[in-house]
Amino acid sequence: MKRIVILTGAGMSAESGLKTFRDSDGLWENHNVYDVATPDAWHRDPALVLNFYNDRRKQVLEAKPNKAHLALAKLEEKYDVNIITQNIDDLHERAGSTHVIHLHGEVNKARSSVDPTLVYELDNWEMKMGDTCEKGSQLRPHIVWFGEAVPMIEKAIPIVEMADVVIVIGTSLSVYPAAGLVNYAPPFAEKYYIDPKELEGKNIYDFKIIKEKAGVGVPDLVEQLIK
């Protein structure tokens, strides 16, 4: 079976109603990302950070997978598919994709602030001050913040290196190490980049550019690949 590796970013979920990061003047849902998505922010005002992610979690719970998520899940009928996403939502999983790596964490999980191996599935939208892990420390969102290590990148690199087809969808390729994954795609692989905006100065010169929204470009490409 041919191997398809898909790298997704915020644009993938835009048509499900979830905002991208860099399409709105550097603000993310009215916050400067450094006030809510850094270890400093967490130390300064953990309640603000918990509330911010509670709002994100509520939005994700209300959102539905869009046509592009559903099309990618269909690829599994014919291909060995791995999705590597920068997104913290679970829309790929809810669309039916079975191999999804979250580079930047998952909004519907919490983890211990003293032991990163203690990760918990949340059963509702709300995390509160005073919610603790089994070692008694405050729970934090299971998110990779700016300035933190990206442990899943080690798992992602060899998957990209084995790809026959690489599809990059809805990412500005501006945050590393995620953006650097395109450099691990084998030279012989078929490569596609789907995004309505032109990307300049990124290392995707051997990608076929499909200048479309995910909801249009992804189902079209999937149909072509399945034929």
Instruction: Name the DSSP class of 212.
Output: S
Contact between 156 and ligand APR (CB under 6 A)? no
Instruction: Choose between 74 and 213: whose C-beta lies nearer to ligand APR.
Output: 213
Cβ nearer to ligand APR, comparing 104 with 140: 104
Q: Does 195 bind ligand APR (CB under 6 A)?
A: yes
Determine the interface stretch with ligand APR among 3-11, 57-65, 130-138, 151-159 (rule: CB under 6 A). 3-11
Task: Choose the stretch contacting ligand APR; rule: CB under 6 A; options: 10-18, 47-55, 89-97, 122-130.
Answer: 10-18
Q: Does 113 bind ligand APR (CB under 6 A)?
A: no
**Which listed residue (16, 54, 86, 138) binds ligand APR by CB under 6 A?**
86
Q: Report the alpha-carbon distance of residue 131 to residue 112 in Å, rounded.
A: 10
Which residue pairs from 209-217 have beta carbons closer than 8 angstroms and sit at least 24 positions apart in sequence? Answer: 213/11, 213/14, 213/15, 214/11, 214/12, 214/14, 214/15, 214/66, 214/67, 214/68, 214/169, 214/170, 215/15, 215/66, 215/67, 215/68, 217/68, 217/169
Length of the chain: 227
How is residue 81 written in tokens?
Answer: 């598919």
User: Considering only 8-16, 46-54, 73-81, 153-161, which stretch makes contact with ligand APR by CB under 6 A?
Assistant: 8-16
Q: Is 43 a catalytic residue?
A: no
Catalytic residues: 104
